[in-house]
Amino acid sequence: MHKPADRIRNVALVGHRGTGKTSLHEALLFQAGAVNRLGSVTEGTTVSDTDPDEKARQMSISAALSSFEWQQRKVNLIDTPGDSSFIADALGALRVCESAVFVVSAVMGVEVHTNRLWQRAADLDMARLVFVNMLDRERADFFRALDSLKSAFGPHVVATEIPIGSEHEVTGVVDLVDMKAYRYEGASRENSTEIEIPEELSDQAQEYREKLMDEVAENSDALMERYLEGEEISHEEIVAALKEGTNHGHVFPVTCGVATRNLGSNRLLDAIVEDLPSPVLHGGLQVGELNLEPVEDRELFAYVFKTRADPFAGRINLFRVYQGVMKQDSQVLNTRTHGKERIGSLVSFEGAGTGHATDFGPGDIGAVAKLKETKAGDWLAARDEPLTMPSIKLPAPVMAFAVTPKSKGDEDKVFTALRRLQEEDPTIDLHRDPQTAEQIVAGLSQVHVEVIVERLKSRFGAEVSLRPPRVPYQETIRKPAKAHGRHKKQTGGRGQFGDCHIEIEPLSPGEGFEFVDAIKGGVIPSGFIPAVEKGVLEAMQEGVVAGYPVKDVRVRLYDGSYHTVDSSEMAFKVAGSLAMKQALEQAAPVLLEPIMLVTVNVPEDAVGDVIGDLNSRRGRPLGMEPAGAGMTEVKAEVPMSEMLSYAPDLRSITGGQGEFAMEFLRYEEVPGHLANKVMDEARAEREAVRA
């Protein structure tokens, strides 16, 4: 039986890479009894990092869902990746949860990715609670981390606990709501004992308790009055006001602990249940005209937020029920495909294994395997209602590689596998470059693309090689020219004869190609004129400068001759091609390169270095403006050939805090000295192919 919606908590664990989210996820599952031992990231034994590549890199790559019970509530906990390369999974999880627990390192405080995710959580109106982890590390300082949280996220960040001891001497926490202290010994489930607040901490605890009460009282006029008059306020009233304030982002409680030692995880579980809202308290979801309420007796609407490509089980889709009940052995409609899907067995994730569920009620999160056409972003509903979830703005993939299968004939296998991985991660870009004919795969970083390649091999048995993509250069002409093409072959029997005169002239950039038939008096019969055009176009596929396609040329066919017996379409096509090659040679041909509009978001103190670097890449800065949270947006026009290695360079200039996107603007002439280099490379490549 499913839990009522007011007894459910949907929580995403988010934060910067390396803050210990996965270890915390593990500690919470262990403390709640969902697993029997405390797994470790370094030993590769955690529940949520199950993929071989996650274990090898000791980092989460995909979001992982685990469900368990605590204090008669069902908690759906989603461990999300902290590396910005895999942000799609973190954002997908934020979208379907009411609450987020932000995990922050007591050594590092607020880091760049924490900032970005906090902004996204604010946009989605989520309740946010902070867990300051790693209190036992060298240079860990809870109060410094708290200050960095306040300066990043405002005065409503408030501690509900403070640690006892610091660094290696951390032994427990003081609960500021009830003014009780707890000592932790060992890592077992029963490792916590209530003790007196240590004397040396009593003044500090009193000071932070007052800060907490000021915040709590601000959320209730009735409490404020009594608080100012010095009346005692009960535990239940404080918790209720705290939950009310947390629900829509008026208060952000800060808890603390050490995940790897299971220190403080019982208190965090209590906080999840007591301070964070249920789907009912948080309120319904407005999608277009529809208001979906977490009630059972209305039509089913469930949103699929993650697809996992499994080579054995096919696709597994994770969904959140917003209204009604999802039942096994039922039929639902996919509102994107308008097709019916049969819900066979429903899957629940309990600890290290998966279980079967008969149904998932409103507000709950679950999974279903083997649907035909459903993927992340789809709605499953009782009726065909055109629904679209407001789209999440995902960063653009900027690290592109040309991908080729290692085994001949594996093209289809590789492409199908890449498509499956793209269903799982929408920040992967897959396309074929029409000009260079290369299959391009692009991701958010080098690591991202490496992980895609590893997954192709481990999950689908497809091995590929990567190399930087070719720059799609083009060629054009700068002045008019005339030429004469004549193709004549006389062998025994019927010969071949085609003869044409053309003149060519440059068109404005972007106008492409124009063919003008100016033949008078039938000197070339009209049936052969398309053949001349075909020959001209063929010659334009490989220009005379470096063999790149020619653009923006008008060709005028104005004279020629033919032979009643020997002329053919083939002969005129060859004549047209010869004439065009000759004309291009004489028309001042030049090499063109693609220019990109590059938008870079960087910390204010790195702006000078970033602009200097763009200048060294032949970039033209267009201007800059503040982008909030100490960041600046710089825009510049930069040739594409200079941007192929930009991602790692930007990372090192900005200490990993910069990100960029680029889009195509136009073609421009390549400066002479560089054009010679491109011509030499193209020649060498052609000779290598011939050899």
- Domains assigned to the chain: 5-282 (3.40.50.300), 285-381 (2.40.30.10), 399-467 (3.30.70.870), 475-587 (3.30.230.10), 592-673 (3.30.70.240)
For 378, the enclosing helix (H) or strand (E) is none
Over residues 171-184, mean pLDDT: 92
Supply the pTM of this predicted model: 0.75
Over residues 429-444, mean pLDDT: 82
Confidence of residue 438 (pLDDT cuts 50, 70, 90): confident
CA distance 683 to 467: 19
Over residues 482-500, mean pLDDT: 87
Decide if 114 contacts 121 (C-beta within 8 A): no
Return the closest-CA partner of residue 67 out of 76, 59, 58: 76
CA distance 331 to 375: 16
Return the closest-CA partner of residue 317 out of 269, 359, 244, 374: 374
Over residues 170-180, mean pLDDT: 91
Q: Give the count of beta carbons closer than 10 Å to the beta carbon of residue 66.
A: 23
User: At residue 399, what are phi and psi to the nearest 5 degrees?
Assistant: -100, 100
Confidence of residue 591 (pLDDT cuts 50, 70, 90): very high
CA distance 322 to 112: 32
Highest mean pLDDT among 231-245, 342-356, 463-477, 578-592: 578-592
Confidence of residue 585 (pLDDT cuts 50, 70, 90): very high
Query: pLDDT at position 673, please?
Result: 87
Strand partners, 567: 497
With tokens 């982008």, the residue in question is 627
Decide if 267 contacts 27 (C-beta within 8 A): no
Over residues 116-127, mean pLDDT: 89
**CB burial string 1-25: b at 16+ within 10 A, e below:** ebbbbebbbbbbbbbbbbbbbbbbb
Query: pLDDT at position 164, please?
Result: 92
CA angle 310, 315, 319 (to 5 degrees): 125
384-398: pLDDT as tens digits = 888 887 777 777 777
29-77: pLDDT as tens digits = 889 888 887 777 767 666 655 566 565 666 666 778 889 999 999 999 9
Query: pLDDT at position 55, please?
Result: 56
Query: pLDDT at position 152, please?
Result: 87
Query: pLDDT at position 421, please?
Result: 82
Return the closest-CA partner of residue 281 out of 100, 123, 127, 390: 127
| Share above pLDDT 70 across residues of the chain, in percent, rounded to a whole number | 95
- Span of 202-216, 223-237, 365-379, 577-591 with lowest mean pLDDT: 223-237
CA distance 319 to 76: 12
Q: Where are the beta strands (DSSP E) in 490-627?
A: 496-506, 513-517, 553-561, 589-603, 620-626
The most distant pair of C-alpha atoms in the chain lies apart, rounded to whole Å, by: 117
Q: Give the count of beta carbons closer than 10 Å to the beta carbon of residue 468.
A: 11
- Span of 154-158, 204-208, 454-458, 498-502 with lowest mean pLDDT: 454-458
Beta 99-105 vs 379-381: how paired, if at all?
unpaired
What tokens were used for 466? Answer: 């990567």
Confidence of residue 492 (pLDDT cuts 50, 70, 90): low
